[in-house]
A and B are shown apart, each in its own frame.
Chain A
Amino acid sequence: MAREIRYGSWSLAAAGLTVLFAQAFHPSMLGVLWAAETAGWLALLLAGLLAFALFWPVAVQVARVPGSSLISLARETGGRPTAVATALLAGGLLVYHSGLVLREASEMAVTLVYPHTPQTFAMVALVICVLYGALGGIDAMVLLCRSFLPVLLLVTVGILFGTLGWGEIRYLLPLWGPGPGLLLARTPLVVAIYSPLLFLLAGASRLHDRQHLWRAGLVATVGVALLFAAVKVVLVMTFPYPLGSTIAFPLHALARLVIGGRFFERIESLWLFFWVYATACHLGAVLHASAAMYAEAVGFPSHRTAVLPLLLTAGTIALFPPDIGRAIAWHVKLAPVALGIAFGLPFLLVVVHLIRGRVSNGG
């Protein structure tokens, strides 16, 4: 019997921040921002605020239903079929997301880490994911993400500061990128970056103070929006648009420019080390969230039963894109779908739940 652990909303916020920010290590995150041109940082900030605005009513409502999770909200709203459908859509989105991230991670490994042994890294990444998702569970995930967050922040901020001298602030102009109208029209798609927030809704049932689930969402979205925006600012300053949009691994490219003296010259080696852990946290968390959703929807006693099939599914999806370019393109194309499932679906459930509650109260 595993030891019962319950964490607070700050711990969940830290985990959410880690999981969301780990995407900065992958090309697709910045790929979504190509449309924002020189104003990517602004699009990220606006998208972060929009993501929280959509998440907040869901968090408030989820905290009120028995079970305190997205699936329990779906069950309360439309019974078991709705819960299963929600698990299929929300969990499916996370598995698809995991598959593409796994592919990008493997491609990064092939390009950067083990140019001669790509299969080795793919296997290592898979093993780490199994350890995290299957053996760790949500409590361990939260604790691990929380403990990893300071290191992640330190490394990222260190790289950004180390790269500042290479950039020129005038490359950020024009500040509106494609112009105010187009920027506002394109920003909603950037919200897709925040779709792993679903992870918080899967872990809410083990939260100490569920009423503050919205706080975890606020810290995660706003914190990540600020961090992403900082990364994007330094990236555009260093690799001016449109050059920056052709750089396959942006944070790695920045790390390669950092000069730490002759003794500490290969900073990106350190970055690669932390990137592996960040990816593992990210993949482990979203895989766990999808497994937890399926398990709850179909009534499995433990999420662990669902982990292996989902991991295999993610691994299969990872093999679908024929090349790294296509993997990034698929991720970008996923943006409208991710927006609809991660934010539209829970929002719809909340609206229907509220309407049905009023009708039943009225009756």
Chain B
Amino acid sequence: MGKKHRLGVLLLLGVMLLPGCWDRMEVEDMAYMVALGVDRDEEGELMVTVMVATTPELTAGGVPAPVKPDYSRLSAKVLTARGNTITEALYVINGGLTRRLDLRQVRAVIVGEGLAREGLEAYVMELTRSPWARGNVFFAQARGRAYDVLARIEPVAEVNPPKMIEGLIIQGKSLHLAPPLRMHHFLARHAANGGDPYLPAMAMNAEATGSPAEPRVSDESALPGELPRGGGSPVEYAGTAIFSSDRLVGFLNVDQTQMLLALRGEMGKAYTTFPDPDHPEKKVTMRFHMENMPKYTATFRNGKPHVRVRLLFEGEVLAAPGGTDYSVPEARVRLEEAASKYARERIHGLLERLEEWEADPVGFGHLYRGRFMSWQAWESYDWRTHVDDLTVDVETEMRIRRHGLVVGPDQIS
């Protein structure tokens, strides 16, 4: 390459570099929005709540702090605005901020109950259309207002509210208190013709502010916002919000959430407590998980969809205060049958509730998609109109493999 050519190449490369970063945004000019809440208020307007991380120790007057920042002083402010769309409301909030607010740092999106009952499609699509919001943000449904969840959250064993939200979600996921879902899951499951979406539930539990916990009102697993606990943050992350298409139709408790995840083949290690078969006044607590994926057989019976599902669980006894030695084979079989029956009843209860709501969060419809030769044939079948006709036979089996560190009855003497 001659000298002239080299000069030309250098000039062209220079042209590439010249435009550079004239409109760059400095870190200290940005506001870090860590959580977004969307509600429909009493007047019918869209109300957007944002939790913005405040970092006074990190920078001072736009320049990095000369001393090591004190992370224990990180906190968050909750701001709200009204608008016709999420984007418009964010612009409104920007009117009172000295830093630029956008969606790129958002970790969690929480939707209010009123808005969700109208339908979420438009708002999820608005966030999907945005180049800043990402499909992998945590997505949760508030039982009540999203504003209350964000405004009332109080860190426990944490120093800042944003971390508290993330911690709640991580714990909910590992203990199967709520399904671990992100915004893209909602979008894809709503778009896929053959099932309905669902979301993890968050709620403000007014009773939880006192300590100790209030007495339990029933043996049933509680709905989100009603867990029998006291002290700490009033906000809890448990249960599932069920949608029919994109509209919220109801909430599941923790037990039903576990069974929903089991039917979907997504349940990890979960905890359950049920009556001791030998001492009905006592309760046995077990940790259990799925031994393998659920086995489905989908058929048409008299022209109506009929599904048989077989679930195989594996359990570990954590507490058996009745005193029976469940390591003995005959007793173990009794316990396995009781646990299996309990799970089956819970699933039946769940399916009854879903039938009442005309929702299919399990995705039974997808079992039938492959039976149609073309997409058009599947669309014209219109699964949604057949959800009512669906009948499900459930078969469950529990195998108890372990008994914790004590193999034998709870007897010291």
- Interface positions, chain B 314-337, Cβ under 8 Å from A, are none
Residues of B within 8 A of A37 (CB): 375
Residues of A within 8 A of B373 (CB): 174, 176, 179-180
- Nearest chain A residue, comparing its CB with the CB of B1: A135
Contact of B9 with A176 in the complex, beta carbons under 8 Å: no
- Report which A residues bind B (CB closer than 8 A): 37-38, 111-112, 115-117, 120, 123-124, 127-128, 130-131, 135, 166, 168, 170-171, 173-180, 182, 238-243, 253, 256-257, 259
Contact of A240 with B136 in the complex, beta carbons under 8 Å: no
What is the bound-complex CA distance between A87 and B2, given in angstroms? 31
Known: A123-B15, A257-B134. 11 other contacts (CB 8 A): A38-B375, A123-B16, A127-B16, A131-B9, A170-B363, A170-B366, A171-B366, A174-B375, A177-B374, A179-B376, A256-B134
Contact of A115 with B131 in the complex, beta carbons under 8 Å: yes
Contact of A178 with B374 in the complex, beta carbons under 8 Å: yes
The interface bits of chain B over 11-26 (1 if a CB of A lies within 8 angstroms of the residue's CB, else 0) are 0100110010011000
B369 at interface by CB-CB < 8 Å? yes
- Nearest chain A residue, comparing its CB with the CB of B125: A246
Contact of A123 with B19 in the complex, beta carbons under 8 Å: yes
18 contacts between A and B (CB under 8 A): A112-B131, A124-B16, A127-B12, A127-B15, A166-B188, A168-B366, A170-B363, A170-B367, A171-B366, A173-B369, A178-B376, A179-B376, A238-B184, A240-B188, A240-B192, A243-B187, A253-B135, A257-B135
- Nearest chain B residue, comparing its CB with the CB of A247: B128
Which 7 pairs, one residue from A and one from B, show the smallest C-beta to C-beta distance? A179-B374, A243-B191, A120-B19, A173-B369, A240-B192, A173-B370, A170-B366
What is the bound-complex CA distance between A117 and B366, given in angstroms? 45
B378 at interface by CB-CB < 8 Å? yes
B170 at interface by CB-CB < 8 Å? no
Query: How many interface residues does chain B have, given as a range?
Result: 20 to 34
What is the bound-complex CA distance between A238 and B184, given in angstroms? 9
- Nearest chain A residue, comparing its CB with the CB of B24: A116
Residues of B within 8 A of A117 (CB): 19, 22-23
- Nearest chain A residue, comparing its CB with the CB of B134: A256
Given A170-B366, A175-B370, A257-B184, A135 and B9 touching (CB < 8 A)? yes
Main secondary structure of the interface of B (DSSP, over half): helix
Residues of B within 8 A of A176 (CB): 373-374
Closest approach, in angstroms, between the C-beta of B137 and any C-beta of chain A?
11
B5 at interface by CB-CB < 8 Å? yes
- Nearest chain B residue, comparing its CB with the CB of A116: B23
Residues of B within 8 A of A38 (CB): 375
The interface bits of chain B over 179-223 (1 if a CB of A lies within 8 angstroms of the residue's CB, else 0) are 000001101100111100000000000000000000000000000
B377 at interface by CB-CB < 8 Å? yes
Contact of A131 with B375 in the complex, beta carbons under 8 Å: no
B300 at interface by CB-CB < 8 Å? no
Residues of B within 8 A of A179 (CB): 373-377
Closest approach, in angstroms, between the C-beta of B122 and any C-beta of chain A?
14
What is the bound-complex CA distance between A124 and B15, given in angstroms? 8
- Interface positions, chain B 158-183, Cβ under 8 Å from A, are none
- Nearest chain A residue, comparing its CB with the CB of B188: A240
Q: Which of A112, A116, A120, A242 contacts B191 (CB 8 A)?
A: A242
B71 at interface by CB-CB < 8 Å? no
Residues of A within 8 A of B134 (CB): 256-257
Closest approach, in angstroms, between the C-beta of A53 and any C-beta of chain B?
26
Contact of B188 with A243 in the complex, beta carbons under 8 Å: yes
Closest approach, in angstroms, between the C-beta of A352 and any C-beta of chain B?
40
Contact of B16 with A174 in the complex, beta carbons under 8 Å: no
Closest approach, in angstroms, between the C-beta of A175 and any C-beta of chain B?
7
